[in-house]
Amino acid sequence: MKFSKCGPLRGEVTVPGDKSVSHRSVMFGSIAKGTTEIHNFLQGADCLSTISCFRKMGIAIDNKGDTVLVHGRGMHGLRKPEGILDCGNSGTTTRLISGILAAQDFTVTLTGDASIQKRPMKRIVDPLSRMGAKIRSIQDNGCAPLEITGSPLQGIRYLSPVASAQVKSAILLAGLFAEGETRVTEPELSRNHTELMLSRFGADVHTENTTAVIRPAPELYGQKILVPGDISSAAFFLAAGLLVPGSEILIRNVGINPTRDGILRVCRKMGADLTLLGVNQDAGEPVADLLVKSSHLHGITIGGAIIPTLIDELPIIAAMACFAEGETIIRDAAELKVKESNRIDVMVRNLSAMGADVEETADGMIIRGGRPLSGAVIDSRLDHRIAMTFAVAACLAEGETEILGAECVNISYPGFYQDLERLVQ
Ligand code: S3P
């Protein structure tokens, strides 16, 4: 797909539902009693993988487009699927579902695409095994495919070496079925959608600083879930609106949960003209409209506790830093290497190809802004956030940019290119 420099962005856009919240609503709905009604569900390939896995385990799910009805069968209602469970490109599906499967009374194999089969699963295999699960990497390489035989579980106290909501959630979900209390302590707080939503479904879960605590649940109960717009999708328009001179856009209905809003804090620190309007809690999570006006940005240092709150936004932040004055340092972000692609490597290669001054470090990158970018051929490595990042960079670069594998945006944002085009016209 080819892109070239664009004029100012104007008007309004409503980004699709949050990916993390959409996944969880189907998973928790499936093991709850009664029907869960989900509004603004993200119809991206990742969330459709979650729906397909639970359908294979006997859960009736009516996907009516914007609304999804999950007819839950209770804590012990899942059935052994025929064949393997295919998690596609979705790390969230693979890791969270493993926590649930660890406690069922059947054996199941789960796997996914080439990217999923390279991503680290030892981080969930180790704690789930300590809880009593029988779970193994079939090729003994710490990756999917995984074979899981459900077993009686015991609660644990787990000190997680990484701030990962996927690891935390897998353990908490296993903890729902375990004997006794389960505690997961993270080095920094990761996104807390699991804790918030499980509590709404009736689980006994709470947080003490960076520790999440759960007690076994006799039953969860179906809920009505309103999925906020995904801040990780909004981030691309936020960046484009700030960077393309003369832009003014309103991004409607964006989830601004404080464990996800690092991008807003970073933009403000870089000098962004960014206003939150109509803040409300109607979705059970904080939501706002973002008013974005083009701004003169300057470089900053990003590291420490803010990293998990903007982990998926670091590719677009790195691109933004190329247009900011001075140096931007991203550190404490080694987790980027084990996302859908190695996002440090892919960002450094592709930004360099466009002429940016960017240097790879052990746990991030250093970007010296101010050099004009020029169009280039960009290999997205089929990583949705890389493709969207370079579609935005292309809006600011001289000449033509070609993005290879551009269709991978369907993972989290079908319709992304159309929405971008509409704002530009
Ligand atoms: C997610 C958590 C994050 C994030 C991913 C979605 C989730 O991964 O990168 O896109 O829904 O829990 P980690 O928890 O592994 O950092």
pLDDT tens, position by position, 330-363: 999 999 999 999 999 999 999 999 999 999 999 9
- CB-hemisphere CA count at 13 Å for 225? 37
What are the Cα distances from residue 238, in Å, to 12, 33, 35, 231, 404?
12, 39, 36, 9, 23
Ligand 1 contact via 165 beta carbon (within 6 Å): yes
Catalytic residue among 312, 357, 363, 383: 312
Question: Reduced to 3 states, what is the DSSP secondary structure of residue 396?
Answer: helix
Q: Decide if pLDDT at 169 tops 90.
A: yes
pLDDT recorded at residue 283: 84
pLDDT recorded at residue 66: 82
Q: How would residue 199 be classed by pLDDT, with cut points 50, 70 and 90?
A: very high
Ligand 1 contact via 170 beta carbon (within 6 Å): no
Average pLDDT, the chain: 98
Ligand 1 contact via 328 beta carbon (within 6 Å): no
pLDDT recorded at residue 170: 98
Q: How would residue 365 be classed by pLDDT, with cut points 50, 70 and 90?
A: very high
Q: Which atom of ligand 1 is nearest to the CA of 232?
A: 10
Which residues in 15-153 belong to E strands, given as ranges? 33-39, 60-63, 67-73, 85-86, 107-111, 134-137, 146-149
210-234 average pLDDT score: 98
What are the Cα distances from residue 167, in Å, to 15, 21, 54, 171, 214?
27, 16, 20, 6, 14
Residue nearest to atom 4 of ligand 1 (CA): 312
Q: How far is the CA of 338 from the centre of ligand 1 (A)?
A: 11
pLDDT recorded at residue 103: 98
Q: Which of 175, 6, 183 is nearest to 75 (CA)?
A: 175
241-269 average pLDDT score: 98
pLDDT digits (tens, 9 = 90+) for 66-106: 899 999 999 999 999 999 999 999 999 999 999 999 999 99
Q: How far is the CA of 214 from the centre of ligand 1 (A)?
A: 20
| Residue 312 is among the residues annotated as catalytic for this protein | yes
Q: Decide if pLDDT at 425 tops 90.
A: no
Q: What is the DSSP string of 255-304?
A: E--TTTTHHHHHHHHTT-EEEEEEEE-TTSS-EEEEEEE----B--EE-G
Residue with tokens 């903007």, as numbered in its chain: 310
Q: Decide if pLDDT at 281 tops 90.
A: yes
**C-beta atoms surrounding 414 within 10 Å:** 15
Ligand 1 contact via 285 beta carbon (within 6 Å): no
Q: Using a pLDDT cut of 90, give the percent of the chain over it.
A: 99
For residue 151, what are its two tokens?
């077993």
231-237 average pLDDT score: 98
pTM of the full structure: 0.98
pLDDT recorded at residue 282: 85
Q: How far is the CA of 8 from the centre of ligand 1 (A)?
A: 32
pLDDT digits (tens, 9 = 90+) for 114-149: 999 999 999 999 999 999 999 999 999 999 999 999
257-263 average pLDDT score: 98
Burial zone of 218 (CB within 10 Å; 0-12 exposed, 13-18 middle, 19+ buried): exposed
Q: How far is the CA of 313 from the centre of ligand 1 (A)?
A: 11
Q: 327 φ, ψ to 5°? A: -100, 140
Q: Decide if pLDDT at 276 tops 90.
A: yes
